[in-house]
């Protein structure tokens, strides 16, 4: 009973935070800002958690609450499946799925204890299966890169297109003289911005755009290739990785004219206009707070586009 009470109080606390900040609990994140009625859904989620948690504290309502806690996390688990199917190679997709699977397992335990007549072999098998799935999804972090800890600090992401390219290689050109100058300008603009993580694609022009800042700050460049196979999911997958691996940090993303708008939209929930081939001076700043909706600033840097 004591463990049930602590679990119930935890749910109530998460629900209260959702109501205070108008955002979803961390276990359910990320929830794109573009979801219609996102804030109201967050409030509804908070109310469900508070009601379910409070219900567990009373014998009269415990059965109803345990039923809710069996169904509600399963729905969230199903919402996590598309990202898992589209990008199974990304560890954080499995970790997010595993975190909710743990809650599903807890819901099964509560449901079984409140419905003893249903505590059959089939229910025990389902419980064991859910625990095994949760463990399998959550355990890889011990042998691979550990996810960033939860933090109250906002994540600040600067997204730019690569600088001007030369004509030395039609398939993978380097930066032109103008592009090299723009890369230096970018380094100057972000000199005191606290950037610690830099993401680029496999192309030379994106890496060369980021190199002056990376050298200046003494940081490594993270390469995330984009190709025909992952182009449809690239922006969303990269956004999810940034908000997991680089949460609470300052981040620079260097992309291409056809990837930058999608990345900005995935991070901020705001659609930005397409970038023309002649435009290299856009600088998008997305601030993602620990709780609340992301904010977007659209700026310019370096020599203005013609």
Q: What is the pLDDT of residues 138-185, one digit of tens each?
A: 444 333 333 334 444 789 999 999 999 999 998 999 999 999 999 999
Q: What's the whole-number mean pLDDT along residues 18-23? A: 78
Split at pLDDT 50, 70, 90, the class of 204 is very high
Q: What's the whole-number mean pLDDT along residues 64-80? A: 77
pLDDT at 256 over 70: yes
Most confident of 21-25, 60-64, 139-143, 264-268: 264-268
Residue 230: Cβ within 10 Å count: 16
- Let me know: does 106 contact 3? Beta carbons within 8 Å: no
Please compute Rg for the chain using Cα positions.
23
pLDDT at 239 over 80: yes
pLDDT of 17 reads 82
Q: Which residue has the higher pLDDT, 84 or 66?
A: 66
Split at pLDDT 50, 70, 90, the class of 267 is very high
Q: For the chain, where are the alpha helices, taking DSSP H only?
A: 2-21, 38-56, 59-86, 91-114, 121-138, 177-189, 204-217, 234-245, 260-268
- pLDDT above 70 covers what percent of the chain? 75
Q: Which of 27, 53, 58, 64 is nearest to 42 (CA)?
A: 27
Q: What is the pTM of this model?
A: 0.56
- The Cα–Cα gap between 65 and 3 comes to 15
Domains and CATH numbers, the chain: 2-142 (no CATH), 155-300 (3.40.50.1240)
How much is the mean pLDDT over the chain?
Answer: 80
């Amino acid at each position: 009973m004591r463990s049930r009470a602590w679990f119930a109080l935890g749910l109530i606390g998460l629900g209260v935070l959702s109501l205070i900040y108008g955002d979803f609990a961390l276990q359910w994140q990320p929830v794109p800002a573009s979801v219609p009625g996102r804030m109201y859904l967050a409030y509804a989620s908070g109310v469900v958690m508070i009601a379910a948690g409070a219900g567990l504290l009373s014998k009269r309502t415990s059965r109803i609450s345990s039923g809710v806690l069996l169904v509600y996390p399963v729905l969230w688990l199903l919402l996590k499946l598309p990202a898992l199917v589209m990008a199974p190679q990304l560890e954080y997709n499995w970790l997010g799925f595993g975190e909710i699977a743990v809650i599903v397992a807890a819901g099964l335990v509560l449901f079984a204890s409140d419905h003893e007549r249903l505590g059959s072999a089939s229910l025990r098998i389902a419980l064991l299966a859910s625990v095994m799935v949760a463990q399998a999804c959550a355990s890889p972090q011990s042998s691979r890169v550990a996810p960033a800890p939860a933090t109250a600090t906002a994540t600040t992401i600067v997204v730019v297109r690569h600088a001007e390219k030369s004509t030395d290689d039609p398939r993978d050109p380097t930066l032109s003289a103008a592009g090299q100058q723009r890369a230096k300008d970018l380094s100057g603009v972000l000199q005191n911005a606290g950037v610690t993580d830099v993401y680029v694609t496999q192309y030379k022009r994106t890496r060369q755009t980021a190199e002056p800042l990376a050298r200046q700050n003494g940081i490594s460049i993270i390469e995330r290739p984009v190709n025909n196979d992952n182009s449809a999911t690239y922006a969303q997958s990269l956004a999810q990785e940034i908000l997991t691996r680089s949460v609470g940090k300052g981040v620079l993303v260097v992309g291409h004219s056809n990837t930058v708008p999608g990345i900005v939209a995935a991070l901020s929930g705001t659609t930005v206009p397409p970038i023309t081939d002649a435009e290299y001076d856009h600088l998008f700043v997305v601030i993602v707070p620990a709780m609340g909706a992301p904010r977007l600033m659209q700026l310019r840097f370096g020599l203005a586009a013609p």
